[in-house]
Every structure is written in structure tokens, then in C-alpha cells.
């Protein structure tokens, strides 16, 4: 797997974590219904971007194993 593909997959995970931290920090001052919305947005964005990063990483690894098995 190329270095660029590793970077892209881990960047997706990193962006997901940063979205989570950002929205959780935004929800701290409110402590009301808005805090719940910010928390839900954070969890959804973390799952989406983190999932994209993990799927990219695993699919690239799997395709690498396939090319090694079938020359």
C-alpha cells in the first residue's frame, strides 16, 4: 500500500476524532437540549469519517493481500 493511501485513511479517522472533540467542546456551555444535538452530530460525524478511514485502510490492505496471492 502506498504512503498516500495510508495518509488518506488515517486522515479520515483523525478528522472524525476532531469533529467529535469540537462538537463535545461546543456542547459544554449549553447543558440543555442543544448539548444533546451537538453530541449526536459529533457521534455521527465521527462514525462517518472514522468509518471511511477504516474502510479505506482495510480495503487497501485486502487488495494488497490479493495481489500478493495472485501474481
Kind plus residue range of the DSSP H or E element containing 36: helix 33-69
The full set of domain ranges for the chain reads 3-69
List of residues 6+ apart from 16 with CB closer than 8 A: 45, 46, 47, 48, 49, 50, 51, 53
Distances in whole angstroms, Cα of residue 63 to Cα of each of 18, 37, 59: 29, 38, 6
Q: What percent of the chain has pLDDT over 70?
A: 77
What mean pLDDT, rounded, does the chain reach?
73
For residue 67, what pLDDT is reported?
60
pTM reported for the whole predicted model? 0.55
Q: pLDDT tens-digit profile of 27-47?
A: 677 677 777 777 787 788 778
For residue 50, what pLDDT is reported?
76
The C-alpha cell at 7 is 495518509
Work out the number of other CB atoms within 10 angstroms of the CB of residue 69.
7
Amino acid at each position: 500500500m502506498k504512503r498516500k493511501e495510508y495518509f488518506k485513511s488515517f486522515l479520515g479517522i483523525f478528522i472524525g476524532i476532531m469533529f467529535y472533540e469540537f462538537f463535545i467542546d461546543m456542547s459544554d456551555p449549553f447543558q440543555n437540549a442543544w448539548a444533546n444535538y451537538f453530541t449526536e452530530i459529533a457521534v455521527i460525524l465521527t462514525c462517518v469519517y472514522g468509518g471511511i478511514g477504516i474502510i479505506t485502510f482495510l480495503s487497501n490492505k485486502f487488495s494488497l493481500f490479493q495481489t500478493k496471492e495472485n501474481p
